[in-house]
Amino acid sequence: MSRRLFSPLRLATAGLVLLVAAAVILVTQKSNKYIEVPDKAHPLTTLVQVPGGKTQKDGGGIYYVDVFVKKASLLQSSFSFFRPEGSDLIQSSSFVLDGLSYQQQLDLERETMKVSQAKASVVALRALGLHARAVASGVRVVDVEPGSHAHGVLKAQDVVVEADSVPIHTQQDLFIVMSRHRPGDVVRVGIKRGKEHLSFRIRTIEDKSHPGRAIIGFIPFEVVTAHLPFAIHFNLQDVGGPSAGLAFALEVLEQRGRDVDHGLKIAATGEIQLNGKVTRIGGIKQKTFGARQAHVDAFLVPADGDNAKDAKRYAHGLRIVPVESFQQALQALATLRPKA
């Protein structure tokens, strides 16, 4: 009886079942690490709508590059062979800020994207000689900490404009007011919620990351209000982060009749500031892979930090153009010529 029970066929079948079960677990179960995966660069011509804008039919275009960040499976976490080309395994702390959940981080990335679009619009329209300005106009509530006294009082998208009767324009303004409080103190907060102006008294809690520091208990983010001569629309759905700012500004100029790309396919990355400065971004390795996958003619990257050096390491023949500012990017593109 035992011989039949443990026959080679039965043992082989049992081994196969266990192997399949282990494979399913490795593929479907997530690890505690994240994976950064390249995304092929995308043309912006259909994703940015500028009033009076025209699409140049010269074969060129401005491309933005993105990176997919997701939980790595146990298989990907254990074996590099199963990770997509150009991807990297990273610790959760490299993507999710201390004290935030994964979903809260995604919400923060989306808010960052909105600010990037506003800054890019202002910089581009100023370059065209149009009147455009941006002002810091409060601190946006991205999410509210469930265990705080602000939970059920403040809501996501509220904008804090006053604290203890002090006008709040930036996060630094709020930090200064909060530095005068200890955990357990009550702070009076004035907010804008849509068209409403509301005021609340909220008991502060202790910042887990900085014991002894009083906080209200929400994820703050800068609010930049752009005053433009016309509205510019960006349709990038769930893409987040500030790194497409340079590409956005270039695309706005292109659609308003400035021949920016000169018939070339140009990928660009870099956070753009209101003074036109282009600053470093993350995921440059994956973004270089994404630019290569789209077969662009050149890739504009920040000269700031190690971005340019790292991009050149993975360029494999792709032209890398380091830039410090928006004006320098325009000058570099004006002299760029197709490869022979």
For the stretch 131-147, pLDDT in tens is 999 888 899 998 898 88
pLDDT exceeds 60 at position 340? no
Residues 106, 156: one domain? Answer: no
Give the model's pLDDT for residue 197: 96
Alpha-carbon gap, residue 147 to 150, rounded angstroms: 8
Residues 241, 285: one domain? Answer: yes
Does residue 18 lie in a domain region? no
Does residue 11 lie in a domain region? no
For the chain, counts of helices (H) and of strands (E): 9, 18
Provide the mean pLDDT of the chain.
87
Residues 145, 238: one domain? Answer: no
Residues 127, 165: one domain? Answer: no
Residues 282, 238: one domain? Answer: yes
CB neighbours of residue 163 within 10 Å: 23
List pLDDT tens digits, range 69-119. Answer: 888 877 777 767 777 888 888 877 666 666 677 777 777 788 888 889 999
**Bigger pLDDT: 34 vs 126:** 126
Q: What is the mean pLDDT of residues 261-278?
A: 94
List pLDDT tens digits, range 164-193. Answer: 999 999 888 999 999 999 999 999 999 999
Confidence of residue 4 (pLDDT cuts 50, 70, 90): low
Q: What is the mean pLDDT of residues 287-291?
A: 97
Does residue 6 lie in a domain region? no
Residues 251, 297: one domain? Answer: yes
Listed residues 190, 225, 260: the one ending a domain: 225
Give the model's pLDDT for residue 236: 79
List pLDDT tens digits, range 251-261. Answer: 999 999 899 99
Residues 51, 165: one domain? Answer: no
Does residue 83 lie in a domain region? no
Residues 251, 111: one domain? Answer: yes
Give the model's pLDDT for residue 295: 96
Residues 106, 244: one domain? Answer: yes
Listed residues 201, 225, 249: the one ending a domain: 225
Residues 171, 197: one domain? Answer: yes
Q: What is the mean pLDDT of residues 19-40?
A: 68
Confidence of residue 1 (pLDDT cuts 50, 70, 90): very low
Q: Which domain holds residue 160?
A: 134-225
Contact 253, 125 (CB under 8 A): no
Contact 318, 284 (CB under 8 A): no
CATH number of the structural domain spanning residue 59 = 3.30.230
Does residue 138 lie in a domain region? yes
At 74, is the secondary structure helix, strand, or coil? helix
pLDDT exceeds 50 at position 302? yes
Listed residues 205, 225, 245: the one ending a domain: 225
Length of the chain (residues) = 340
191: CB partners within 8 A, 6+ apart:
141, 154, 158, 159, 160, 161, 162, 197, 198, 199, 200
Does residue 213 lie in a domain region? yes
Does residue 311 lie in a domain region? yes
Of 8-12, 150-154, 318-322, give the lowest mean pLDDT range.
8-12
* Burial of 137: CB neighbours in 10 Å, binned 0-12, 13-18, 19+: middle
Give the model's pLDDT for residue 241: 82
Residues 139, 149: one domain? Answer: yes
Of 11-15, 101-105, 203-207, give the lowest mean pLDDT range.
11-15
CATH number of the structural domain spanning residue 152 = 2.30.42.10
Give the model's pLDDT for residue 105: 77
Q: What is the mean pLDDT of residues 319-325?
A: 97
The residue written with tokens 């029970």 in the block is 5
Contact 40, 290 (CB under 8 A): yes
Q: What is the mean pLDDT of residues 17-32?
A: 57
Residues 257, 108: one domain? Answer: yes
- Number of domains composing the chain: 2
